[in-house]
Amino acid sequence: MVEIVPAILAKSREELIGKLQTLDGIVKRVQIDVMDGKFVPNRTILPEEFGKIDTKLKMEQHLMVENSIEHIRKLKGNAWMVIIHLECCEKNVEEALEEIRKIGAKAGIALNPETPIEKILPYLDKIDMVLVMTVTPGFQRQGMVKEALEKVRVIRKIKPKMEIEVDGGINKHTISEAAKAGATVFAAGSAVFGSEDMKKAVEELERTAREAQ
């Protein structure tokens, strides 16, 4: 399985809706980056500012925020999946996962390049997906930290059928290595939105990843 998930950074509701519309018919799933300016320096539109988003796309909400539980509760119908960061809710992971289930969404946990993989192992049976960050979260156009792909390899051995997403520095040159490591889902921002033809860019990424698996 290979799925390319365009990563959306939006500062306003209008920008978010516009980007969702441009992807309609190109992909089935998107990642919406939610940043509070605290856990990461940048700030995007927050769940309470979304309003009800009318889209057929499955929305994967990537919470790069300090108070994950507060933001989860405000997502309501705008989340097909919610991804929390282990680094900002390590003391209440179980509670955060429970809140995700309450809103009827799938649950994922993300971990930064420097976070030891041992910290996520106790939760692998309680989540639907692991998101391995291959850049420091909060900034665009960073090079991939390829050492982080070792976490993908380890998780793939432990959980052969688990959905593993890689986020950071994904492009036509790096996606092969991530696919070979065992990733099946690939968040791509600049590689999609920075292209002249987004549909063609997504298709090329998919093809390259499949050939590498």
Nearest to 36 by CA among 26, 46, 23, 50: 46
Question: Rounded distance, CA 30 to CA 185, Å?
Answer: 11
Q: Active-site residue among 33, 54, 128, 197?
A: 33
Three-state DSSP class for 130? strand
167 is catalytic: yes
Output the DSSP codes for 167-201: ESS-STTTHHHHHHHT--EEEESHHHHTSS-HHHH
24 is catalytic: no
Nearest to 68 by CA among 87, 43, 41: 87
**Exposed, middle or buried, 147 (CB in 10 Å: 0-12/13-18/19+)?**
exposed
Tell me the catalytic residues. Answer: 33, 167
